[in-house]
Structure 1
Amino acid sequence: MKKFITGSLLLLVVTFLAACSTSTGGQRESLDIALWDERADDAVQASIEAFKQEHPDVEVNVTYTPFADYWTRLMTSLGGGSGPDVFWMNGPNFYQYATQDLIENLDSYIEADSSFSKESYFPAVVDLYSLDNNLYAAPYFVDSIGLFYNKTLFDEAGIDYPDETWTWEDIERVGEELTDPSNGVYGYMAHVARSQPGYYNMIHQAGGYIISDDKTTSGFDTPEAKEAFTFLQALIDKGISPSIQNQIETEPKQLFLSNRVAMLPEISVHVTEFQAELGDTFGVAPLPKGKEEASIVHGIGWAMNEKTDDKDLAWELIKYLSNEDGNRVIAETGFSIPAIQSLSDVFKDYLPSVDLQVFIDAQETGVAYPVSKRTAEWQDIETKEIQSAFLGQQTIDEALEKIGAGMDAILEEEQNE
């Protein structure tokens, strides 16, 4: 770890520490929460109000930090023995925090509390935040990937909307029909700069995998991964999709919201935002199939600072955030699919004009977001080499070979740690 911190980073860290410091003694009178998405504020505040009815003397402070800065601030504060009491955890960072004893093992609290049952939640998100069968983050909401589409562009071209029968061939065929270079309209967004809504899904749809089930082998240097990336490259070469340079320069979602992309694979948490922008023009369908159906499934959990002063009180707050009422509120606000399976219909009914069942169905046939102890390290290699290939600096085969070798080396080191 570097001994010196730049001025801007120091300011960010000091701000985070000030907002999320733990008390150093005496009776606990406040709890600090940290997360990154202010769109969840209504749901979070509703759970806090319910918690304060039982704990009126406890002040709960919420800090929202942009995702780009969130993990740096969180790691710095927790590593220094401070930080928020309760905070959002995601899959790519989970193993690092759990194995470095930065977050509390929740199983002892769960075993002593009959009101919390792991079986109530979608298994994928419980597995995502479990280590050695112990849960380290209480499931809050889940997400999956669907095909967002612009009804107006389909209507103008006289083309039927996508449905559950679609395959990769339909992406290429219809995408070509919808592409209109004279008006700067692309038929489809072939994500090569974003993994979760893009190529992760397509590798699995080709019959491959990102990481083996035993977390020892990369799936990038395989025929299935090559098939997926070759298909994405063909869509770009034919002008059906923006190039990676376009995707880096202009966010794919902005291209879609400005009616310049007809079809966009995207994460369920963006549904309300897109529907608010596009209204009845906006539609959602299942991801088109390759050899198999596949949609990457992820979710967010509430973790507890291992060094929080009052762990029982922090657990009480986590329960209010992740229990049935907390999950119901996250569904009623339309933010995302509640992690409690029985509340799926609450989310589905939030926007009758959009087929939200697509994302619920994906929980049954979806593929868990790929993680290992050092996810961030091999994802850095992955991003660098894929961007290099699609910028024309090397072939796809060369890039995938480098990712596979680099990832396998990291996974081997993980096994020996």
Structure 2
Amino acid sequence: MPKRSTVLAAGAAAVVLVIAGVVTALTVSGQGPADQTTVTVRLWDDQVAKAYKASFAEFEKDNPDVNVELSVIPWADYWEKLRTDVAGDSVDDIFWVDGGNYPVYADAGALLDIDKTLGADASAKWAPAVVDQYTRDGVLWGVPQLADPGIAVYYNAELLADAGLTAADLDDLRWDPTGADDTLLPVLKKLTRDSGGKTADSAGFDGTSLAQYGYNSAYDVQAMLLNYLASNEADFQDGEEYAFASPKGVEAFQYMVDLINKHHVSPSAADTNTNGDFSRDQFLQGKMALFQSGVYNLANVNEGADFDWGVARLPAGPGGAISGVDGIVAAGSAASEHPAEVKRVLAWLGSAKGSSFIGASGSASPAVLAAQKDYSDFWASLDVDISPFYDVLENGTAPAPKGSGWPAADNAMRPLLQEVFLGRTPVAEGVRAAQDAANAAVTK
């Protein structure tokens, strides 16, 4: 399943669009029975789509005049198709948007004002961080659906045991750009093996031929960049200006890149730059010991891992363990031909009962506060301790990228930073060039 996070700007180029002049012409024609109105809902997550199917079946019992149809568009195609559909009169009545892309649609008048649609007090039921993330110019532009907590580390207990380690050895891991107080790297070296079976901390280790990865350092904004920057007391943005090329920011990038190209404890960027799921798949195949990610991969790991696994806390940096946070909303099309029915569906999606299907299935962490216990109860019933994803939030959080310029900035910085992770461009030089390109893209 592709990542559902807002900060992985997959296809962000597609969101730099010119739509202000066409949003008023949008229509969707439902094909339900004559006495029903069809409301279409678009998303990219097949796990949540299963929960939605059950949720809307319940909704339709009390709303027999409304037929809700789901449209699941793969993440890789989602943003390009959304752009063209908004511009081409075929957008759904309700559609998911992420934090990096929604401002363009909001600024163009393509989205419903949720405060006006559902009432200003409706947001009290939803995760405050997600409400804040999707409030622009004092207006909330979507009904919060998912509230990813912090990032943590999935571990393969069998590979830990093979290295003479236990889950307890992952407690309180620290990374240090100076190396003086670094306990993470020694553990990663023990967990990395070449094709001859030698670990990365042994003589004769061949870092060019890895059979087992210790960790998944990569160009991954949510799972890696935001956390390493914040944990080294560096900012990703200062307001809406990109500021990650500070001295502390460069230190954080250097550490991540060295894990790949100097210490050889993570996959080559040649694999991860072009496949965002490469590390996840290696972990599920038993070829990676530690996989740093979020709850958006819980269902994948639970379904795909045939080994004993668990979740450990995010390693701390000089500034502590600081994680990025994220959320997803369901936005209503301002040009829907069925505003009354869309309002009812949005209200259901924002209700405890409507969202309970997401939490109870374990498919995602709901943004509706009353439904979050269903999620933790689901994983507790499977003896999976998900507290590391939440405990890290006590240390403070790193906000997701913000501003209408994020899609263009992401397009500008990504190829330059990917070259840095490949080791082709010196870190300080490449990070500075990426920051400059991102800021230049925003001001165009």
The normalised TM-score by structure 1 is 0.87
State the percentage of identical aligned residues: 25
Aligned to 2:269: 244
Instruction: Summarize the alignment of residues 181-330 of structure 1 with structure 2, pairs less than 5 Å apart.
Output: 181=194, 182-183=196-197, 184-192=211-219, 194-212=220-238, 214-215=239-240, 217-236=241-260, 237-248=262-273, 251-279=278-306, 281-290=308-317, 291-330=319-358
Cα distance in 2, alignment partners of residues 392 and 279 from structure 1: 34
Cα distance change of structure 1 residues 69 and 249 upon mapping to structure 2, 3 Å threshold: closer
Cα distance change of structure 1 residues 185 and 280 upon mapping to structure 2, 3 Å threshold: closer
Q: Would the aligned equivalents of 1:297 and 1:362 in 2 still touch at CA under 8 Å?
A: no
Deviation at residue 288 of structure 1 after TM alignment:
0.7
- DSSP-derived class of the 2:342 partner: helix
Letter in 1 for 2:343: W
Alignment gaps of 5+ in structure 2: 1-13, 15-25, 176-181, 198-210
Q: Would the aligned equivalents of 2:27 and 2:89 in 1 still touch at CA under 8 Å?
A: no
- DSSP-derived class of the 1:103 partner: coil
* 1:157 correspondence with 2:183: no
Cα distance in 2, alignment partners of residues 137 and 362 from structure 1: 26
Instruction: Summarize the alignment of residues 33-48 of structure 1 with structure 2, pairs less than 5 Å apart.
Output: 33-48=41-56
**CA deviation string 1:89-143 (max 9, x = no partner):** 111111111111111111112327xxx6312222111111111121111001111
Alignment gaps of 5+ in structure 1: 1-8, 10-19
- DSSP-derived class of the 1:76 partner: helix
Letter in 2 for 1:201: N
- DSSP-derived class of the 2:237 partner: coil
Tell me which moved more, 152-161 or 336-345.
336-345
Cα distance in 2, alignment partners of residues 27 and 78 from structure 1: 27
Aligned to 1:395: 426
Deviation at residue 180 of structure 1 after TM alignment:
1.3
Aligned to 1:79: 87
Cα distance in 2, alignment partners of residues 70 and 376 from structure 1: 14
**CA deviation string 1:68-104 (max 9, x = no partner):** 1111111212123331001111111111111111111
**CA deviation string 1:275-323 (max 9, x = no partner):** 2222561211121111222111111111001100121210110111221
Aligned to 1:176: 189
Deviation at residue 150 of structure 1 after TM alignment:
0.7
Cα distance in 1, alignment partners of residues 115 and 130 from structure 2: 15
* 1:128 correspondence with 2:133: yes
- DSSP-derived class of the 2:113 partner: coil
Aligned to 1:350: 378
**CA deviation string 1:14-49 (max 9, x = no partner):** xxxxxx96139x997211111111111231012212
The normalised TM-score by structure 2 is 0.82
Cα distance in 1, alignment partners of residues 298 and 434 from structure 2: 32
Given candidates 94, 98, 114, the residue that maps to 1:106 is: 114
- DSSP-derived class of the 1:207 partner: coil
Q: Would the aligned equivalents of 1:21 and 1:32 in 2 still touch at CA under 8 Å?
A: no
Deviation at residue 335 of structure 1 after TM alignment:
1.2
- DSSP-derived class of the 1:264 partner: strand
- DSSP-derived class of the 1:221 partner: coil
- DSSP-derived class of the 1:309 partner: coil
CA RMSD after TM alignment: 2.3
Aligned to 2:405: 374
- DSSP-derived class of the 2:55 partner: helix
**CA deviation string 1:56-77 (max 9, x = no partner):** 1222211111111111111212
Letter in 1 for 2:192: T
Cα distance in 1, alignment partners of residues 138 and 282 from structure 2: 42
Structure with higher helix content: 1
Cα distance in 1, alignment partners of residues 55 and 27 from structure 2: 21
Q: Would the aligned equivalents of 2:313 and 2:388 in 1 still touch at CA under 8 Å?
A: yes
**CA deviation string 1:199-222 (max 9, x = no partner):** 22111111111111x21x212211
- DSSP-derived class of the 2:293 partner: strand
Aligned to 1:4: none
Cα distance in 2, alignment partners of residues 370 and 67 from structure 1: 18
- DSSP-derived class of the 2:242 partner: coil
Cα distance change of structure 1 residues 110 and 362 upon mapping to structure 2, 3 Å threshold: farther
Cα distance in 1, alignment partners of residues 440 and 133 from structure 2: 23
Letter in 1 for 2:251: E
